[in-house]
Amino acid sequence: MTTTPAPAERDREPRSDTADSTHSPDSADSAGSTDDFLRLDQQICFSLNAASRAFGGVYRVILKELGLTYPQYLVMLALWEHGELPVKKVGEHLRLDSGTLSPLLKRLEAAGLVRRERSAADERSVVVRPTEEGTALRGRAVRVPRRIVAATGFDLTEILELRARLDRLTSALDTALLEDAPDPA
């Protein structure tokens, strides 16, 4: 039988045996002081994943009335914001590779929400744009962000601060990934 830790135990900060307030696992002097860093409830990646899954559930319910999945909604957001885009640019905006993006675009095209065609300027490039129906869907989608904000229980200032922190986190992790990448030599 598993037991849930008491709130005081579950919510405590990891112990650090050093004066460093960053709580870096690398700064721990003994095995006992690093144990807390290996607890599931101390993993930022787990907290982010759990929040992402919770968001996914809320979006699933909200987007059902629009007939969109969350990834399809993201594609439509990019197209509503930028208009016609090369598929490659859509992927860059959404941080999706072409293997993930192509089936999304096919389903959106089959639903009559987007149109894909070869670029007149560059035959190698495919551009995508919202159809009239896809553009009209934007009017119904305007309520989605308000409903998401309400579901979080945060006020708008908290949402903006959280998004800014998450953007900084993403940037820092992208930089760390680039720094740790092997040289292509």
Q: What is the pLDDT of residues 176-185, one digit of tens each?
A: 988 877 776 6
* Order of all β-strands in the sheet with 114-118: 85-86, 126-130, 114-118
DSSP state of 48: H
Q: Does domain 68-139 have CATH number 3.40.50.2020?
A: no
Instruction: Please tell me the distance from the alpha carbon of residue 87 to that of residue 116, in angstroms, as a whole number.
Output: 9
How do the domains of the chain map onto residue ranges? 68-139, 142-178
Residues in the chain: 185
The number of CA neighbours under 13 Å toward the Cβ of 41 is 11
pLDDT digits (tens, 9 = 90+) for 12-60: 444 444 334 455 555 544 445 677 888 998 999 999 999 999 999 999 9
- Total-model pTM: 0.76
